[in-house]
Amino acid sequence: MTLWDDHYFNQEKLENWLYGKDSLEGQTRKWFVSEAKKWPPGIEFLDAGCGGGVTAYQLAQAKVLDKIKYTGVDFSKCMLDLAQKMVKHPNAKWICSPLEIFSSTEEFDRVLLRAVLEHNFDPEPVLKNMLAALKKTGMLYIVFWNNPSLGESIVAKTPEGFYDIAHSRRKLEKIVELEGFHVRFYHSVQENSARSSWRDAWMITR
């Protein structure tokens, strides 16, 4: 059992939260779906820290899931149970694994980390592992809930005990650079986040 399972074991409450109007109509979600609509058919996509499957659900609603291969990975069983309930699609598969040790015989064209790094005290193992999962021409999207800090990392926890960290932007960029990648595109979407009225999104390539 993970800390997430301890707090979100009630499937009805979890579904109401993740699939409520505020969640489904978030601007960063709309932005990402618009990006995915541009992908060519056959893309292999890894949704790393997929939670309750909202991204997959929205890709299915937008008919994107019909033309790609989707893999959702999360370490929370209750989240994955909800994801499999809400998204029944032949192109979707689900794996229960911590992201820092997740491994696959496949490499991916696109990887998404959405509101994930903030919950890890040390973002390096997760970030490096996801970069390693990319094909040579692949792209990693990071969508932040707690936007990176322009100075030192700001460490905090939620009342439930989850880390909610604004990691140092320079630290994250350095990890990316040392792995042979660079942040190709910085984007800010007007949507409330942990410390501001916008949410940052990065697109990372070799």
DSSP notation for 7-48: HS--HHHHHHHHTSHHHHT-HHHHHHHHHHTTSPTT-EEEEE
Show the low-confidence residues of the chain (pLDDT under 50). none
- Of 111, 114, 122, the closest CA to residue 167 belongs to 122
What CATH code is carried by the domain that includes residue 60? 3.40.50.150
DSSP designation for 119: G
Token pair belonging to 176:
């990316």
Question: So what's the pLDDT on residue 160?
Answer: 85
Q: What angle do CA 65, 66, 72 make, to 5 degrees?
A: 30
Q: Is 83 helix (H, G, I), strand (E, B) or coil?
A: helix
Q: Which amino acid is at 142?
A: I
- Of 141, 153, 142, the closest CA to residue 117 belongs to 142
Question: So what's the pLDDT on residue 1?
Answer: 65
Question: So what's the pLDDT on residue 166?
Answer: 98
* pLDDT tens per residue, range 90-120: 999 999 999 999 999 999 999 999 999 999 9
123: phi then psi, degrees, rounded to nearest 5: -75, -15
The tally of domains found in the chain comes to: 1
Domain that holds residue 56: 3-205
Question: So what's the pLDDT on residue 163?
Answer: 95
